[in-house]
Amino acid sequence: MSQLICHNLSVGYEGKKIISDLSFHVDAGDYLCIVGKNGSGKTTLMKTLLGLHKPMKGEVRAGEGLTLNTIGYLPQQTLVQRDFPASVREIVLSGFQGRCGLRPFYTKEEKKTAAQNLQRMGIRHLEKRCYRELSGGQQQRVLLARALCATQRMLLLDEPVSGLDPKVTADMYELIERLNREDGITVIMISHDIEAALKYATHILHIGDTLFFGTRRQFLDSKSGRLLVGGKGAAV
C-alpha cells in the first residue's frame, strides 16, 4: 500500500480548476519531484495534499500509518517571517505543535528530538541565534529541521532552493538526498530545476498541458520529458 494516494484529483481555488483528473501515488522511500511551469498549479496541488485547500474533485488518501497531519512541510518563506524575532530553537520546537493538542508546553523528549534534528541539519551551533539574521541557506535548514520535528516519514518541500546560490543549493540537495536515502524519509519536492529533479528523484510528476506521472526512466522516454530535457540539452 502507498503512503499517499491521489485519485482523480482536481485542484484549484476560488472555483477555478487548475489541474483536473490527476492520479498518482507515493510509496515509502520514494523521491518524487513535481515539475511544471509557473502557474501550472504546483503549489496549489501541494496545499491540497496538505489539506490547506479542499480538493475540488477526487480524493487525497494517506496510508501505511501516515496521516495527513504528520507530513512535514517546508513552505516558501513569507513576508511576516522576514522580520520575526524568533530564535532558531523556538522555531524548530514549533514543529511539534501539531501533536501537542491542548498540552501547553513541550516535553523533554521533544526538546531532545529538536536538538537532534538541529544536529542532523548541521546547525546545532545556531540554536540560540535569531532567525532573521541567518543566511538564506541557514534559514532553509532551520525550517527543514522544524519539518522533521513534525514528521518521521514524509517531507513536502516547496521550492527548497529558490533564492539560494549554487553552492548552497548543491548542499541543500545533498542534505535532502541523505534524508531520503539514509533515513528513509519519503520526499515530495516542487522544483523549477529540472536538472536536479532528474538527478535526484526516483519519480517525476509533470503538471501542465500534459500530465505525466511515472519513474524517472519513464519520464525521460515520454514526450513531455524529451521535450523538457531536449530543450535544456541536459545530459542524464
Which CB, 128 or 167, lies closer to another protein? 128
Beta carbon of residue 102, minimum distance to another protein (angstroms, whole number): 9
Rounded to whole angstroms, the Cα distance separating 200 from 154 reads 16
Q: Distance (Å, rounded) from C-alpha 150 to C-alpha 114?
A: 10
> Minimum distance from CB of 125 to another protein (Å)?
16
For residue 36, the minimal CB distance to another protein (Å) is 21
Helix/strand/coil percentages in the chain, nearest 5: 45, 25, 35
Site for another protein in 143-202 (CB under 8 A): 146-147, 150
Cβ nearer to another protein, comparing 69 with 210: 69
Q: Which of 10, 87, 116, 162 binds another protein (CB under 8 A)?
A: 87
- The least distance separating another protein from the CB of residue 231, rounded to whole angstroms, comes to 33
Of positions 104, 166, 231, 233, contacts another protein by CB under 8 A: 104
Can you tell me which of 69, 107, 119, 218 binds another protein, judged by CB under 8 A? Answer: 69
Q: Which of 8, 23, 39, 51 binds another protein (CB under 8 A)?
A: 51
Smallest distance, another protein to C-beta of residue 192, A: 20
**Residue 185 CB, nearest approach to another protein (Å):** 15
Q: Is 18 in the site for another protein (CB under 8 A)?
A: no
Contacts of 78 (CB under 8 A, 6+ apart): none
Site for another protein contains 93 (CB under 8 A)? yes
Residue 180: partners with Cβ closer than 8 Å, 6 or more residues away: 29, 31, 186, 187, 200
Q: Are 185 and 215 in contact (CB under 8 A)?
A: no
Residue for grid cell 522555531: 91
Whole-angstrom distance, CA of residue 56 vs CA of residue 2: 22
- Which lies closer to another protein via its Cβ, residue 85 or residue 233? 85
Among 41, 55, 72, 225, binds another protein (CB under 8 A): 72
Pairing of the two strands 57-62 and 4-13: antiparallel
Query: H-type helices in the chain, by residue range?
Result: 42-49, 79-82, 88-93, 97-100, 108-120, 136-150, 166-181, 194-200, 216-221, 223-232
- Under the criterion CB under 8 A, does residue 115 sit at the interface with another protein? no
- Please name the residues in contact with 2: beta carbons below 8 A apart, sequence gap of 6 or more: 25, 26, 27, 63, 64
- Interface residues with another protein (CB under 8 A)? 47, 50-52, 69-73, 75, 78, 80-81, 83-87, 89-91, 93-95, 97-100, 104-106, 128-130, 132-133, 146-147, 150
